[in-house]
Amino acid sequence: MSKLIPDIFALIIKELDNDYNTLFRCLLVNKLWCKLTIPILWKDCLSHNSKPISHEKNISLIKILFSFLSEESKNLLIMNEINLSFIQTQTPLFNYISYCKSIITFDVTEVIKNCFESPLSQNQKNIIDEEFYDMVFDKCSYLNRLGIFHKLCYKKYDMVNFMKLKDNLSNLVELTCTQYIDERIFYNLAEICVNIKKLELRETLTLGYSTKTMDGLHLVKLPKLLKLRVCHLTEVKELIQNTSGYLKTIDIHNQFAKKNITEDIIQIVIAIYQNCPKLEHLCIPFVDTIDDALGDLLVHCNQLEYIQIYGGFPSDESLNGDVILKILSKSTSKKLERIEMKGSWKFSVDPLKEFLNDLKERNYSLYFKFGLNYDCLNEEFSSIIQNFVDDNVLRINPLDYL
């Protein structure tokens, strides 16, 4: 019974995952509750995606974490004229760093420079970064979320070193990265990470234009992937083909790319309906000649609940909403309840009425939201929309959101 009670408390406290105010109160109950709560509060300490953190708290965090540096690392920093007087001298009550489960968008040098009166040289920054992340990977034996950005792409973390991190990374379920990553890293991750359920590929926006592409995705096999979000189209088709049919969410955001993406998008759509029978959520750009491929997707993906189509290629003036309505009418999913069309779409009255009447005949109620070319907005159009809102065919009036 004495062992059962702490286990029950642990399950209860775990349910308070994002309720930070309550978790902080749990710290003060007694020693047992404090011991059970600390790991939950510290699991995302290096992940700024989960909860924004103030400048002052960032500095306090660094002071605590740097107290876990080895004496060898501290001596190396001192030898390179890096002042460590900011480090907390008192031994921490808990091994906080060992509770860390995710590393995403944490820039240690950006935080640590605020602990110094004088600026850091680039060499000092590099040393701090390397020693800090060496310590993190040494202490954190179980990571489940990782963002691989430039800070984690030193030469020292090449193929061999990533393999040394096999025990740390084998339990990853979420991976986020940019296109500025050596493709060899993907080769390694394909060997190590077999439990990934969410993959996010980001395209870094800069003032200049970069032709750097993300190669090596065709090497990655993610049999348990549930969610994919990409901003870069290179090898996405191959990546989808290398999943095992479990993908439920796919977001393709490519509005900053060149206009010659039509064939890429069509091939991705084909790969989706051939490999993603459990798809529930889809965000896809509208391109010319997508009609057949998107129509086939709506026939084959009969678990689809939400689809977002955004315009931009071609230019907004030629976004033909009638084409999309005709395609959407092919959907075989009885679960499709939300459709959003972003952009300046043109609708004709008759195709719109035909689409909505078809929904009405099937006793269908739809959340339908769209951007509208104002040339289409007139009294007749508004009246048609309102009539179908009154008949509960449309759950909202999309014109209220223009």
Q: What Å distances lie between residue 160 and 163, 198, 249, CA to CA?
A: 5, 25, 33
Are the C-beta atoms of residues 109 and 115 closer than 8 Å to each other? Answer: no
For 61-110, what is each residue's pLDDT tens digit?
878 888 888 888 888 888 888 777 777 677 778 888 888 888 775 566 66
Q: What is the pTM of this model?
A: 0.59
Does 123 or 332 have the greater pLDDT score? 123
Q: What Å distances lie between residue 332 and 122, 248, 287, 304, CA to CA?
A: 58, 17, 22, 9
Confidence label for 121 from pLDDT (cuts 50, 70 and 90)? confident
Backbone φ and ψ of 288, nearest 5°:
-60, 145
Task: Taking the CA atoms of 53, 57, 59 and 64 in sequence, report the sign of the dihedral they define.
Answer: negative
Q: Which helix (H) or strand (E) holds 74?
A: helix 71-79
For 209-230, what is each residue's pLDDT tens digit?
444 455 555 556 667 778 888 7
For 356-375, what is each residue's pLDDT tens digit?
998 898 888 899 999 888 88
What's the rounded Cα separation, in Å, for the pair 286 and 395? 24
For 260-302, what is each residue's pLDDT tens digit?
678 888 888 999 999 999 999 999 888 878 888 888 898 888 8
Query: Is the preceding peptide bond at 119 cis, omega within 30 degrees of 0?
Result: no
